Amino acid sequence: MRKLFLAAAMATTLSLTGEGALAQTATRATTGMSTAPAPKALSATGKIVSFDDSTKTLTLSTAKGEEKFVLGSNSHLQEGAKTITTANLSSLAGHQAKVRYTGSGTDKAAESVMVSGGARAKSSK
């Protein structure tokens, strides 16, 4: 009877240890996988040239020339402290803006657009 109890206890211990070891291995495999780091956000500053609502493309005149940025549904748009929509961008041509984006070349996705100041006319004195 004692041997039977001991055998049952060992079988239970082995089965629990085996499952635990298997679970640990699966956890290590899952957490041990390295994921690619998120792309670094870049920024560009310049004057708004235009906004094409059909393609959601903002054109900015920067020191590098004209740069185009595609706005997604999650792009955050602000004019000063006020949150704006893409419908406002067309009327803001000539305003200074800073665009935070990811990507490069012709594939630049805007994360946020911060519009400040305005198209200031030179005052005549």
Q: What are phi and psi of 57, to 5 degrees?
A: -110, 125
For residue 76, name the pLDDT band (cuts at 50, 70, 90). very high
Q: Is 39 helix (H, G, I), strand (E, B) or coil?
A: coil
This prediction's pTM: 0.63
The residue with tokens 């500053």 is 45
User: Domain 42-116 sits in which CATH superfamily?
Assistant: Copper binding periplasmic protein CusF (2.40.50.320)
Judged against a pLDDT cut of 50, whether residue 121 lies above it is answered with no
Residue partners of 110: CB distance under 8 A and separation at least 6:
58, 69, 70, 71, 72, 75, 99, 100, 101
Domain residue limits, the chain: 1-35, 42-116
Q: 17-46, pLDDT tens digit by residue?
A: 555 444 454 444 455 555 666 667 799 999
User: Which tokens is 73 given?
Assistant: 């549904």
- Contact 42/100 with Cβ under 8 angstroms? yes
DSSP 1: -
The confidence score (pLDDT) of residue 40 equals: 79
